[in-house]
Amino acid sequence: MRPARQFVSTGPQKSPEFASVDAFATYLYDDDRETYTVDELARLAFFTRRSNLSLIDELSGYCLRLAPREPVRRVRGFTTSSNDRWFGPGSGA
């Protein structure tokens, strides 16, 4: 079972950009951004007590979109066995 996600901030008082959807959209526009991350969406959902899907729908009304996640790459080291050189997790494919 995954542990519950814990945030460092104690509430919207310390991070006012997550107090409401409008404040978050203003924060992104002030930062000249058109995308937001999954972590920012999770914090906004936590502080506004709304579902991620409803927030994504409302933020799309502000012409903001969710940034795609970057895949985690595992790089082979020099001491790694070459058994997975072509097809394994270190192959880069």
Model pTM? 0.66
Find how far residue 72's CA is from the centre of its chain: 14
The yes-or-no verdict on residue 4 having pLDDT over 80 is no
The verdict on residue 62 lying in a domain is yes
Res. 10 pLDDT band, cuts 50 70 90: low
The yes-or-no verdict on residue 75 having pLDDT over 80 is no
Least confident window among 5-14, 43-52, 53-62, 66-75: 5-14
The verdict on residue 1 lying in a domain is no
How many domains, the chain?
Answer: 1
A 10 A CB-CB count for 88 gives 15
Q: Which domain holds residue 29?
A: 20-69
Could you tell me if 93 and 87 are in contact, meaning their C-beta atoms sit under 8 angstroms apart? yes
The verdict on residue 64 lying in a domain is yes
Q: What's the CA angle centered on 84, arms 83 and 87, to 5 degrees? A: 135
The verdict on residue 41 lying in a domain is yes
pLDDT of residue 77: 65
